[in-house]
Amino acid sequence: MNKKQAELRIKELREKTEYYAKKYYDDDKPEISDFEYDMLMVELRNLEKEYPEFQSSESLTQKVGGHVKEGFEKVTHEVPLQSLQDIFSLDEIDEFDNRIRKSAEENGINTIKYVVETKIDGLSAALEYKKGKFVRGATRGNGLVGEDVTQNLKTVKTIPMEINDKIDITVRGEVFISKDDFEKMNQEREENEEELFANARNAAAGSLRQLDSKITATRPLDIYIFNVQKIEGKEFNSHFEELEYLDKLGFNVNPVRIPCNNLKEVKEAIKKIGEMRENLTYGIDGAVIKVDDLKFREILGTTVKTPRWAIAYKYPPEQKETIVKDIIVQVGRTGVITPMAILEPVHVAGSTISKTTLHNEDFVKEKGIKIGDTVIIQKAGDVIPEIVKVVEEKRTGKEKDFEMPRVCPVCGAEAVREEGEAAVRCTGIECPAKLFRNLVHFVSREAMNIDGLGENIIQQLLDRELIHNISDIYELKFEEIASLKKNGKKFAQNLIDSINASKENDLYRLITALGIRHVGGKASKLLAKKYKTIDNLMNASYEELSEIKDIGEVMANSIREFFVQDQTIDLINKLKLAGVNTKSLQEENTDNRFEGKTFVLTGSLEKYTRKEAEDIIEKFGGKTSSSVSKKTDYVLAGEDAGSKLTKAQSLGVTIISEEEFEKMSH
């Protein structure tokens, strides 16, 4: 590579690493694996070393990759939260030790000890205590300036609000989500058709950096403390001594900390951590080697980005060969049909893998996976097994192509893939695979509003085979419901009353309850108002539907696909027989004072619930939105209005109080 080529490659690598770092640190949505990113950084670092004339303080080899997220207060760290230099071979550990020993000799230091710890795969945070009480917490950010996430950190159960000594201290730790909790989170997100977290680290980072601490509180965050950043009135000689003291204070200290007297013991510790890696309850992406003597650390000093007294050894991802014996499909609770590879069982990174998700048909095509292929498999983020690539040279010609089914394998309804989406979905509303989720939605507050019929009761009804489809709700007997609970007569009567009351609901609630893809509450009201009866809506053509303002082609197509299904027609007929109202009860409204106006609601309202305010706006022809933009006409601001109010002020959007809203709507 000549000088010009090196300059161009350095420029390209800087652009790539900046982009991938932003996706990883700021957006919490990585696009490449940690290993791939690390290899780009290694190449960039080596090129900058070989061609020092192209070095720059703006390169990610010289600075930490994160930025402060908009909406958070900035916190300047008194002691910078630096990152670590990564290494990938035992030879590089020798180089690190040689550099440390050379410095020790120059400074008359005879004994060098190290501490080896697990490098926890999470998000770094600084916790500040005054007189023993937790007063502030911040993310690392760019190392010098982070985000104030105090309220979010207060929701982490393993962070003590008061420690066992009334001192001023700032500590550093790693916020993470355990492997088991991460799997549970992703299972729930998959069932709810939410985007899956790529790995536990980004799940933890995204959870901690929520602008609403109530969301953070629902996430299973944990923390391990691994360093004293600053302390008043106490001095320590060694890092290991500091960690023991942090334990006594009541902190949740990194449990894997191995004192080492020499380089041999360091390598043994790294090997030991590598062997125990799979049995740890939390994810790690390496082992950290630190000089133990704190005074010697001060002599060694730091660069702009990294300390010279510590280094991080990264374990390579373990990969194994196996065979794809078959590709089957599974139907999830939301109707998504997912291909699954059945594998010749293989032991990877501590566990036996016999199957793995293939995500969707695009993934299968991109990887070129066929039934019978030999493939390379590894664990992504040490948790989720994935196929990395096909070993094409081992093909025999007997391999078979895989095709996604065009009908649901469970109920036989049409399986569709909408334009712009990767998922193939079952369209059958009576599909047994979707029944639980369909029932939960049907009875929900926004839909038929059947109070008392929660997820637990629905599951019991299914387990006892008291209901087999949605319409069976209206056939439930008093005695059947009462049997679900001890002394359940009062519960049964209340639920029967609620079921009967739901029969009188407006048509728009029934349309919402049917769970037509893309059709929410607002669209349901619009359709009920226009078509008046469920029969009229069922007979509406695609062309007619697509011309309705705020419906459009995607929703129109979804509505038509739904109502031509035999299962849909069967359900509607059963609901009619059960006495469920299928006509609009809405009175024709001629007052459209808010027509063409968009409102955003923020903060706590005193005179209205948010739903009541939205209903008033819609009643007079207006619309509500969840985000503020230049197209917003009014922001209705209650108490403790946050970032939406700030944005409205910056854009010059009209801000109204509850009193002003009341005058406008009366």
Active-site residue set: 119
- 444, with CB counted inside 10 A (0-12, 13-18, 19+), is middle
The structure tokens listed for 514 are: 């049917």
Extended beta strands in 310-428, E state: 310-313, 319-331, 336-348, 351-357, 374-380, 384-390, 415-416, 424-426
User: Do the Cβ atoms of 427 and 433 come closer than 8 Å?
Assistant: no
Residue 87 DSSP class: E
Which distant-in-sequence residues (6+ apart) come within 8 Å of 467 by Cβ?
439, 461, 473, 476
Which distant-in-sequence residues (6+ apart) come within 8 Å of 465 by Cβ?
none
In angstroms, the CA 135 to CA 213 distance is 16
User: Do the Cβ atoms of 602 and 644 come closer than 8 Å?
Assistant: yes
C-alpha gyration radius of the chain: 30
In angstroms, the CA 482 to CA 477 distance is 9
Angle between helices 435-443 and 455-463 in degrees, nearest 10: 140
Residue 168 DSSP class: -
In angstroms, the CA 213 to CA 205 distance is 13
DSSP string, 449-470: --TT--HHHHHHHHHTTS-SSG
Residue 406 DSSP class: S
In angstroms, the CA 256 to CA 460 distance is 44
Between the alpha carbon of residue 328 and those of residues 42, 277, 431, 435, the distances in Å are 40, 31, 18, 21
Residue matched to tokens 């007619």:
544
In angstroms, the CA 637 to CA 648 distance is 10
Which distant-in-sequence residues (6+ apart) come within 8 Å of 421 by Cβ?
none
